[in-house]
Amino acid sequence: MIQLEGVGKVYASHANDERPIVAVENVSLDVPAGELLCLIGPSGSGKTTLLKMINRLVEPDRGTVRVGDADVHTVDPIKLRRGIGYVIQSGGLLPHRTVAENVGLLGRLEGWSRDSVRDRVYELLEMVGMPPSDYAERPPRDLSGGEQQRVGIARALFLDPPIILMDEPFGALDPVTRSQIRDEFLHLKQNMRKTIVLVTHDLGEAFHLGDRVALLHRGRLLQVGTENDLRQRPTDAFVERFVSGGAEAPVHG
Ligand SMILES: Nc1ncnc2c1ncn2[C@@H]1O[C@H](COP(=O)(O)OP(=O)(O)OP(=O)(O)O)[C@@H](O)[C@H]1O
Ligand SMILES: [Mg+2]
């Protein structure tokens, strides 16, 4: 469903630094349809950059990205993003719009009728466990972190995209809400058959949620596999340290 082949991205240096920043280096990765792949790695290892290459929020300098059978470089980004839901850290909700308006955003942009937008919004709010009668008309600031996150997920599902990209979707939540939302999400996922790429700092979360885990370090993909693969057959000393909790402390950023 998603194929990355030798992708790389170099950013020009920060103001007082002469060396360019290699954010992603020669990464190849296949995500089959229906898989939930977790991208993990220390802060600055290139997770967000790699994720954004899939929906063309970042254009790679080299390599190719395929979604379905198309090279994304040849697909209109707006059209591409209709088929790819995107959930960003902390929900990214519009503060001056209601919950219903936030969830229905893509429907309005696509020219859906008011009634069909409303019906779909209500259906999605039910699905993420937020009864529309209680939540639809509230502003996002009145919601808890977990509720805002669910609104962000509902919004990403609006057009029923086959692919969902999630960048630290549970990162801002307290541990209790986090494990609750995570389990609700797993339950939701079982009924959806989506291809999902989810970025996380949290190794336990990656192993809990992911069918496979891809570990990035300094822009390079060190290993992709199941928990068992990474624990029993680490391909690299860094992988071994990371999975045993001894690597560079994963910092929330
Ligand atoms: N727009 C940009 N301009 C310049 N450098 C960038 C840009 N975006 C990212 N970088 C750099 O590229 C590297 C990878 O960044 P990226 O955001 O992909 O990391 P990350 O793994 O998502 O980190 P985090 O876990 O902290 O979110 C970092 O060194 C970062 O400073
Ligand atoms: Mg990031």
Nearest CA to ligand 1 atom 18: 46
Ligand 2 centroid from CA 47, angstroms: 6
Nearest CA to ligand 1 atom 6: 11
User: Which of 19, 39, 45 has most ligand 1 atoms within 8 Å of CB, for mutation?
Assistant: 45
Ligand 1 binding site (Cβ under 6 Å of any ligand atom): 11, 21, 23, 41, 43-49, 201, 253
Residue-wise pLDDT for 102-120, tens only, equals: 999 999 999 999 999 999 9
Q: Which ligand is nearest to the CA of 12?
A: 1
Q: Which ligand is nearest to the CA of 27?
A: 1
Return the top range by mean pLDDT from 16-20, 136-140, 145-149, 189-193. Answer: 136-140
Q: Mean pLDDT over residues 87-99, rounded?
A: 86
Residue-wise pLDDT for 170-215, tens only, equals: 877 777 777 877 887 888 788 778 999 999 988 999 999 999 999 9
pTM over 0.85: yes
What percent of the chain is modeled with pLDDT above 90? Answer: 68
How would you write the chain as a 3-class SS string? CEEEEEEEEEECCCCCCCCCEEEEEEEEEEECCCCEEEEECCCCCCHHHHHHHHCCCCCCCEEEEEECCEEHHHCCHHHHHHCEEEECCCCCCCCCCCHHHHHCHHHHHCCCCHHHHHHHHHHHHHHCCCCHHHHCCCCHHHCCHHHHHHHHHHHHHCCCCCEEEEECCCCCCCHHHHHHHHHHHHHHHHCCCCEEEEEECCHHHHHHHCCEEEEEECCEEEEEECHHHHHHCCCCHHHHHHHCCCCCCCCCC
Ligand 2 centroid from CA 48, angstroms: 4
